[in-house]
């Protein structure tokens, strides 16, 4: 009986001293990390790199529906704002990978938050300001399915 107890203690101690195995998955991605970037949750530096990768590969998205870029994104769009080029129309939107509050705080330099990670998407045809203002008021600048459906068919003229 004593021999079995010593044997069990030895097994327990041996098991406790083993380090856990951490498995990592390789995306197997090439180029721009497969779809413009296989993002990890490592923070702003990765997000900034991701945005730069999208800009570098923008030729893939120009003169195509915005849905092509939205489909390729591996980080979800979380908020947006519009750029009004006159009193009647908007030339594009600024999409952000942070929620509206974080994007605003970063834009205003609150708590030295750093620059927001954003992309400006310019449309080939301006969008009526009234359509955009209504959406911005309802969604408070947060990106939802309704925004995705509204903007997805728009043709991308430029990404910056």
pLDDT reading at 2 higher than 90: no
How many Cβ atoms are within 10 Å of 147's Cβ, its own excluded? 21
Over range 56-69, report the average pLDDT.
Answer: 97
DSSP character at residue 142: B
Q: Minimal CA–CA distance to 64: which of 158, 148, 149?
A: 158
Query: pLDDT tens across 84-122, in order?
Result: 877 899 999 999 988 888 887 777 766 656 777 889 999
pLDDT, position 111: 65
Query: pLDDT tens across 47-59, in order?
Result: 889 999 999 999 9
pLDDT, position 83: 77
DSSP character at residue 141: T
More confident residue, 15 or 35: 35
Query: pLDDT tens across 142-155, in order?
Result: 999 999 999 999 99
pLDDT band at 45 (very low <50, low <70, confident <90, very high): low
Q: Where are the domains of the chain?
A: 39-159
pLDDT, position 106: 79
pLDDT, position 98: 85
Percentage above 90 pLDDT, the chain: 42
Q: Cβ distance 100 to 79 under 8 Å? A: yes
Quickly list DSSP for 59-104: GGTTTSBHHHHHHH-SS---EEEEEESSSSEEEEEEEESS-HHHHH
pLDDT, position 6: 44
């Amino acid at each position: 009986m004593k021999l079995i107890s010593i044997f069990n203690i030895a097994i327990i101690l041996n098991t406790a001293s083993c380090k856990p195995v951490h498995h990592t998955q390789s995306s197997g991605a090439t180029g721009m990390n497969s779809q413009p970037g296989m993002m990890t949750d490592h923070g702003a530096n990765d997000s900034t790199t991701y945005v730069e990768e999208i800009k570098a590969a923008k030729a893939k998205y120009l003169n195509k529906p915005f849905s092509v870029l939205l489909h390729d994104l591996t980080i979800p769009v979380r908020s947006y704002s519009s750029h009004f080029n006159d009193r009647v129309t908007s030339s594009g939107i600024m999409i952000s990978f942070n929620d509206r509050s974080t994007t605003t705080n970063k834009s205003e330099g609150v708590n030295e938050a750093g620059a927001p990670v954003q992309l400006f998407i310019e449309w080939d045809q301006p969008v009526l300001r009234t359509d955009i203002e209504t959406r911005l008021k309802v969604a408070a600048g947060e990106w939802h399915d309704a925004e995705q459906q509204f903007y997805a068919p728009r043709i991308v003229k430029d990404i910056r």
